[in-house]
Chain A
Amino acid sequence: SQWGEENLQALSIQEGEDVTMNCSYKTYTTVVQWYRQKSGKGPAQLILIRSNEREKRSGRLRATLDTSSQSSSLSITGTLATDTAVYFCATNNAGAKLTFGGGTRLTVRP
Chain B
Amino acid sequence: ETAVFQTPNYHVTQVGNEVSFNCKQTLGHDTMYWYKQDSKKLLKIMFSYNNKQLIVNETVPRRFSPQSSDKAHLNLRIKSVEPEDSAVYLCASSTRDRGNERLFFGHGTKLSVL
Contacts and interface: CB of A to CB of B under 8 A. Distances in A.
Interface in A33-90: 33, 35, 37, 40-45, 48, 50, 86, 88
Please tell me the size bucket of the interface on B: 20 to 34
A11 B97 CA distance: 31
Contacts of A37: 41
Nearest to B43: A100
Given A42-B105, A42-B108, A97-B48, A30 B41 contact: no
Nearest to B58: A97
Given A97-B48, A97-B56, A45 B42 contact: no
Contacts, number: 59
A40 B103 CA distance: 17
A88 B43 contact: yes
Given A8-B40, A86-B41, A42 B99 contact: no
A95 interface: yes
Nearest to A35: B103
Contacts of A7: 40
Interface in B86-114: 90, 92, 94, 97, 99-108
Interface of A: 6-8, 30-31, 33, 35, 37, 40-45, 48, 50, 86, 88, 92, 94-95, 97-100, 102-103, 105
20 contacts: A8-B41, A8-B42, A33-B100, A35-B103, A37-B41, A40-B108, A41-B105, A41-B107, A42-B92, A43-B43, A43-B103, A44-B105, A48-B97, A92-B101, A97-B48, A98-B101, A100-B43, A102-B42, A103-B41, A105-B41
